[in-house]
Amino acid sequence: MKLWHAIANLNLIVLALDHLLTGLAGVFVPTRSAGLYRRLFGAQFPEGSPLTSVLRPWGALGVFTGIAGLLPVIDSLRYRPILYALVLLLVLRIFIRLTYDPATLTFFNLTKRRNYFHIFLVAQCAAIILLQLAYW
């Protein structure tokens, strides 16, 4: 069982670090963070686009999510509701990615393959959290 706890906690830590890193980048260096998002998520913001202004509030939410997501690592029973919230967030992220139309994919220069790969990664994180909820 210790191995399973380590895997579940590693999943939460990686998810939290992803949210913290991308969130802090979005808040403090939104124009440069567009390059980070391109490398991590495959989405490319048009050069000099006013869309980068959205990255600051989006980043703030990412920072919050990253910090809140670490709480179950400390005490998964006490912070169990956060695990449910994280699953909901991940399901919404999957839904958003699945509903991209061809124009959105083209606008962000995002290939279907890269989009589905990201969906796969997010689904893996959600599945591990769901297993954690089921067996804790």
Q: Read off the pLDDT band of 125 (50, 70, 90).
A: very high
* pLDDT of amino acid 47: 66
Count how many domains the chain has.
Answer: 1
pLDDT digits (tens, 9 = 90+) for 52-107: 788 899 999 999 999 999 999 999 999 999 999 999 999 999 999 999 999 999 98
- Token pair 């990615």: residue: 97
Angle at 37 between CA 73 and CA 39, to 5 degrees: 100
Residue-range definition of the domain harbouring residue 50: 2-135
pLDDT digits (tens, 9 = 90+) for 27-47: 999 888 878 888 888 878 776
* pLDDT of amino acid 130: 97
* pLDDT of amino acid 28: 94
Question: Is pLDDT above 80 for 136?
Answer: no
